[in-house]
Structure 1
Amino acid sequence: MFSGNTFTFLDELAANNNREWFEANKARYESLVREPSLAFIAAMAPALADFAPHFRADPRKMGGSLMRVFRDTRFSRDKTPYKNNIGIQFRHALGKDVHAPGFYLHIAGDGCFLGVGSWHPEADALGKIRDRIAEDPERWFAVRDNKKFSSLWALTGDSLTRPPRGYAADHPAIEDLKRKDFIALASLSPAEIIGPELTKLATTRFSAGAPLVAFLCAAVGVAY
């Protein structure tokens, strides 16, 4: 699938982030980024069907699990046109964007990781997640503090500095209720990315992170 040349391409793209360079190197993008990404996505499909049947491994070139290489520069001061990373997201069948609960792989020259959970959930979903934690903190703690989960994953993301409106400051889960992201990350080395066991490794870690995704699905009212 991926190789050391994949990282070389991503580093060169970061140093030459313009349309002329990308067009001249488009064949390398296809062979070093898109093709191995789609192969990984296809290889993950049976595993997802087993432990997360409502999530999709979609190996289409456009509109599937592989995220677009083109950056959305409309509201950014950074007008460079391309992402210098690979983003692969296995979304819920009902999820339409990156904010929905899901499983994620990130590959870049400055760091690689797996992710599970909801990144920047929209206000309605965020409120439902917080309410679920507030109403049943023990169930949340059982997910958060599970030894298998915590040995492989670390909760991270943005948080409020003060308790959100409507939640008691002395609630036993107040630090988690402050979260604006409900994501967990697991670092990967470049050697693991290019190694022969990437699919197996991702399956093992995603399976261990599945209880977090299941909790979030229940909170927002979709089947896990």
Structure 2
Amino acid sequence: MITQSTFNFLSDLAANNNREWFTDNKQRYEEAKENVQDFTGELIKELNRFDKAVAADLDPKKCVMRIYRDIRFSKDKTPYKDNFGIGNLRNTKVHIGYYVQVQPGRNLAGGGYWMPEGDHLKLIRQEIDYNGDDLKKIIDRPEFKKLFGEFRHQEQLKGAPREYEPDNENISLIKLKSFAALHQLTDAEMMKKDSPKRVAEVLGYIYPLTTFLKNALA
């Protein structure tokens, strides 16, 4: 579970996002990071129950993202993220998988494939054209919609891609630029003892989506 002290650290970091404060509170950061790594270790065990692409012996330290921001090309020069991101959970070369974010008031769990480009985007659109009903069965489940909302409401093209007719029965999905879904959890949910299991249950509804996307690129 995520501890209150981890949320307190992130809240204080958001209010004091500078190197001097971070240096003075480095011990708090290390403790918060260790808490998130422990949470990730438990989450890995739960995910491995239904998705063997998440290796049971995966090192959670490799899944917790760096808190340091890359500010080289950003107008926002604050040096640190105000959240802990958890990713790289699946043994795959492409960015199809799960994402968990630990942040006060904005904890997230979800996944899929965010903003694929080039050939990957073409292959996913082709798979939707051929097997759109399979995707609809996943994203139109009442449980999926309750957790993630309407999948088709993501950013999409204004018109149909030139390879497809505007009246294609799957055009609302073919026009999508991203194929991901996120569910928000409360701080209280994340601080429960069984929170890794609860987060894994949410990600269990993402698993069929990752399978569909993986098959599209096979």
TM-score by length of structure 1 reads 0.88
Cα displacement (A) at 1:101: 0.8
Q: What do residues 16-51 of structure 1 show as CA deviations (whole Å, max 9, x unaligned)? A: 11111111111101112x111111111122222221
Match of 1:214 in 2: 211
Residue 44 of structure 1 aligns with an amino acid whose one-letter code is L
**Separation in 2 of the partners of 1:46 and 1:181?**
28
**Does the 8 Å contact 2:69/2:79 carry over to 1?**
yes
**Separation in 1 of the partners of 2:87 and 2:121?**
20
CA RMSD of aligned residues (A): 1.8
Match of 1:21 in 2: 21
**Separation in 1 of the partners of 2:154 and 2:10?**
25
Cα displacement (A) at 1:215: 0.5
**Does the 8 Å contact 1:19/1:81 carry over to 2?**
yes
Match of 1:139 in 2: 134
Where has structure 1 moved over 4 Å in runs of 4 or more? none
Match of 2:43 in 1: 44
Cα displacement (A) at 1:122: 2.8
Cα displacement (A) at 1:198: 0.6
**Does the 8 Å contact 2:129/2:170 carry over to 1?**
yes
Match of 2:2 in 1: 2
**Does the 8 Å contact 2:41/2:60 carry over to 1?**
no
**Does the 8 Å contact 1:55/1:102 carry over to 2?**
no
What SS does structure 1 have at the residue aligned with 2:7? helix
Query: Structure 2: where are the runs of 5+ without partners?
Result: none
Give the alignment of 1:188-203 within 5 angstroms. Answer: 188-203=185-200
What SS does structure 2 have at the residue aligned with 1:91? coil
Determine if the alignment matches structure 1 residue 114 to structure 2 residue 112. Answer: no
Cα displacement (A) at 1:75: 1.6
Q: What do residues 186-221 of structure 1 show as CA deviations (whole Å, max 9, x unaligned)? A: 110110011112111012111122111111111122
% identical aligned pairs: 36
**Separation in 2 of the partners of 1:169 and 1:74?**
41
Q: How many residues align?
A: 215
Cα displacement (A) at 1:146: 2.4
